[in-house]
A = this chain, B = another copy of it.
Amino acid sequence: MTTQMIREVAQESAAQRIDSALAAVEQTMLNVVKSDVEVLRDASTHILAAGGKRVRPRLMMLMYLALGGEDIAYAAAPAAAIELMHTASVVHDDINDHGIMRRGRPSVNAIWGRTFALLTGDFLFTSVYQLMAPYKDLNIMLARAATALVEGETLQAHAVKTNTFTREAYARIISLKTAALFQSAGEIGARLANATPEQIEAAATYAFNIGMAFQIVDDILDIVGDEAKLGKTAGIDIEQGRGFVVANSDASSNPADIVDNIKQKLMSGDYLQEARQQAEAFVNMAIACLDALPPSPYRDELIALAELVVKRDH
């Protein structure tokens, strides 16, 4: 075989390995939500089967493989736990925000109502807890990220309510509600692979930066995105005073006016342009961290994932 051919074979086998890893994560999630209680099983399966980008478990598995990890079954449980944690927060979010669409389907809230949505979110939380219970040290990391997530969501709700959604508040909120869980995905992937302390640090920083970029792009898409592609109600963040920051002096006494003002100002380009640049800066910092990893098709995929985060349209 020529060098080119060998490379192609290696890439193909890497692609298969990534597919197997993500299939294992998917199966683990579906297994853990197989409750005897019909409502919990149905509602959990509904939201899981709707898909989603699976960017967190993908990042974790790629990091694990890129750092030499080989036991996919062992790594699948923490990766599944991270995605379930995200899913739990999404289900509870949709209660608080009255979101009726999620991942291109009616939300759990919309189908089963508020009481069962609340309990389904709780059930997904306790499923995370069950999955992670055997992973002592890694569990401490995910537990911290879970608390950060709830703290970020709370700060966001509070900033909206008190009209104190400043630029600094935005940065703190997204680092807690999104980047902390991403960071734990990177760090756990690296630790599971018995990486060196330098590599673990690089993996955590890569993932944190990806998380920051991911949330900024999410907030941009909430404004300019195509609802059909997003699979969820667009503009909801802005309508509820979240997402990007606009000067409080814009506030009018008419809520419809306020939203229109904000939208117009954001759509005018300056704000979005700045946000896009910020996201790109985070992605560049993330990619630079990957120098600490040996070259491999998995590392290439981590670079591709970083680039996709800013290029995605949903």
Contacts from A to B (Cβ < 8 Å):
35-40, 89, 92, 95-96, 114-116, 118-119, 121-123, 125-130, 132-134, 136, 139-140, 142-144, 146-147, 149-151, 153-155, 157-158
Contact = CB atoms under 8 A, between A and B. Distances in A.
B126 A130 contact: no
Contacts of A36: 151
Contacts of A92: 118-119, 122
A261 to B, nearest CB: 25
B37 A116 contact: no
A150 B122 contact: yes
Contacts of A142: 133
A139 B147 CA distance: 17
B154 A130 contact: no
B134 A40 contact: no
Contacts of A143: 126, 129-130, 133
Which 9 A-B pairs have CB atoms at the shortest separation, nearest pair first?
Answer: A126-B146, A133-B140, A133-B139, A130-B143, A126-B147, A129-B143, A133-B143, A37-B151, A136-B136
A150 B119 contact: yes
Contacts of A130: 140, 143-144, 146-147
Contacts of A127: 147
A260 to B, nearest CB: 25
16 contacts: A37-B154, A92-B118, A92-B122, A96-B115, A115-B157, A116-B158, A119-B154, A126-B146, A126-B147, A128-B129, A129-B129, A130-B140, A130-B146, A133-B136, A136-B136, A139-B139
Contact of A125 (B96, B119, B122): B122
A89 B118 CA distance: 11
A145 to B, nearest CB: 9
A93 to B, nearest CB: 10
Given A122-B125, A122-B150, 19 more contacts: A35-B147, A37-B158, A92-B118, A95-B118, A119-B153, A119-B157, A122-B153, A123-B147, A123-B151, A125-B126, A126-B149, A128-B129, A129-B129, A129-B143, A130-B143, A130-B144, A130-B146, A133-B140, A133-B142
Question: Which of A38, A144, A158 counts the most B-chain CB atoms under 10 A from its CB?
Answer: A158
Given A118-B118, A122-B125, A129-B143, A35 B151 contact: yes
